[in-house]
């Protein structure tokens, strides 16, 4: 069973940067025709959001 990412889901960042392993909340999903979708994640210890691809996100707790 595949876990679906929804707004409000807890996300673990899987990215080779200083954000790797950080936990955040999925704020919105930007769907683009013909392009890769972008996922906006807010990490509580930061004052800004980061944009990630699907491969860079791991769902920890699916939003109901």
pLDDT digits (tens, 9 = 90+) for 41-53: 999 988 889 999 9
pLDDT bucket at 8, cuts 50 / 70 / 90: very high
Asked whether residue 33 carries a pLDDT value surpassing 90, the answer given is no
The answer for 34, left when phi > 0, alpha when psi is -120 to 50, beta otherwise, is left
Q: CB atoms < 10 A from the CB of 37, how many?
A: 12
pLDDT at residue 63, rounded to an integer = 60
Query: If we measure between CA atoms, which residue out of 61, 60, 17 comes closest to residue 51?
Result: 17
pLDDT, the chain, mean = 88
pLDDT at residue 61, rounded to an integer = 82
pLDDT bucket at 2, cuts 50 / 70 / 90: low
């Amino acid at each position: 069973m595949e876990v679906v990412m929804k707004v409000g889901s807890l996300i673990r960042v899987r990215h080779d940067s200083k954000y790797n392993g950080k936990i955040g909340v999925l704020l919105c999903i930007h769907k683009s025709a013909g392009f890769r979708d972008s996922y906006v994640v807010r990490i509580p210890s930061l004052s800004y959001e980061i944009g990630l691809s699907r491969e860079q996100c791991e769902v920890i707790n699916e939003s109901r």
